[in-house]
Amino acid sequence: MKQLISAFALMFLAISASVLASQLNVKFAQFDINADGKISRIEAKKNDNLFKQFSDLDENGDEVLSEREFKQLKR
């Protein structure tokens, strides 16, 4: 019985991890209006919080946020 429970627990963990990951992807895609894999300053205007942090998030200073840079966003 215990084994069954831990199997369920593992499954639950795996599912919630993938849900979390897909939520992040959805968010990035929501902002990336032209789907070029980057968020421009204009696209970031959709969200005040993102727009305010834009310069801090843009580590390489190319005026767009990659998905990796976007993930540093503080909520």
Cβ atoms of residues 74 and 48 within 8 Å: no
- Of residues 12 and 36, the one with the C-beta less far from Ca ion: 36
CB count, 10 Å around CB of 62? Answer: 10
Is residue 57 a contact residue for Ca ion (CB under 5 A)?
no
Alpha carbon distance 29, 67 (integer Å): 9
44 is a site residue for Ca ion (CB under 5 A): no
Q: Residue 50 interacts with Ca ion (CB under 5 A)?
A: no
- Min separation Cβ 49 and Ca ion, Å: 18
60 touching Ca ion, by CB under 5 A: yes
Does residue 36 touch Ca ion according to CB under 5 A?
A: yes
Give me the residues paired with residue 65 across strands. 39
In sequence order, the 6+-apart residues with CB closer than 8 A to the CB of 30 are 46
> Could you list the residues that contact Ca ion (CB under 5 A)?
32, 34, 36, 38, 58, 60, 62
